[in-house]
Amino acid sequence: MADLGVILGALISGVVHARRIADEESAAVAEHYKDNPLLSGMSIPRVRLPEVSINIPMLIEAQDEGEADQIADAETIKKAVGEELKNSLSREGVKMTAEELQRFDTAFAQQLKKVAVPSVYRSPREAIIRAAEDAYSETIKDKIVKASTLAAASRIVSNIRFSASGSALQKVGRAPRIGASVLTAEVKDKSSNENVSRLTLTLREEGMEWSVGQNDDGTMTRKLTPE
C-alpha cells in the first residue's frame, strides 16, 4: 500500500523525466548532425507529447483524515517577532522609541485575534505572517522607510515575515491521505467488480523557461516563467 499522492507524484514525475531524456537526446542528435556534412542541412527530430492519458486500476485500502496544525500561543509569537524586529532595527541602524515598538506590539496582538482556527485544510502560518505585515504597515512602516534605505526596509520586513513563520506553529499537522495499491498482482488478487477503482489521469505539458532580470542594486535574479 502506498500514499495515493505519492503514486500521482510518481506518474507525473515519470512523464517529466521522459521529456528531459527526449530533449537531451534531441540535443545529442543536433550535435551529431552539425558535425556530419551529409546531415548538417537536415532538420533535427524532436518529439513532444502535449498530452498523456493514463488509466490504472487500483484498490483504495485506507484513509487518514489527517491532523490540523497546532498554533503557538499569541505571547510566544509576539515575543519572537518583537525580538526579531528589535534586532533587525539595530542591524540596519534604525532607531525606534519604546512607544513606537509598543504600538506595533499592540497592533500585532489585535491582528493575531483575527487568525482563524486551523484545520487540516487550512494552515494558520500565512495568516500569522500577514498579521505581522499588517501591524508593521499600520504602525512603523512609514518611519522605517524615511529613516533608512528601501533595501534596508525590505530586509526588516522580510525578517519579520521569517520570524512570524518560524514561530507560528507549536506542532505541524498531518495532511489527509489515502492509501492505495496499484501493483498488478495485488489488484488482481484482491479486486472484484465491487471494490476495484480506476484512476484516469490526463497530463498536459506546459513548458517553463529561465528569465533573467537585473535588480536595482546590480544583482541578477533568475526566475522560471511559462513559455
Cut 0.85: pTM above it = no
Q: Write out pLDDT tens, residues 45-57.
A: 888 888 899 999 9
Residue 119 — very low, low, confident or very high, per pLDDT cuts 50/70/90? confident
Q: Do 78 and 147 have their domain in common? A: yes
Q: Where are the beta strands (DSSP E) in the chain?
A: 2-3, 51-64, 70-71, 169-171, 177-181, 197-204, 208-214, 220-226
Last residue of a domain, one of 138, 156, 171: 171
Residue with cell 503557538: 72
Q: Which domain holds residue 112?
A: 70-171
Q: Do 219 and 156 have their domain in common? A: no
Spatial neighbors of 168 by CB under 8 A, at least 6 apart, are 71, 72, 77, 124, 125, 128, 129
Q: Do 96 and 161 have their domain in common? A: yes
51-64/197-204 β-pairing? antiparallel
Q: Do 11 and 46 have their domain in common? A: yes
Check residue 115 and give its pLDDT.
87
How many domains is the chain built from? Answer: 2
Q: Which of 106-110, 181-185, 193-197, 198-202 has the lowest mean pLDDT?
A: 193-197
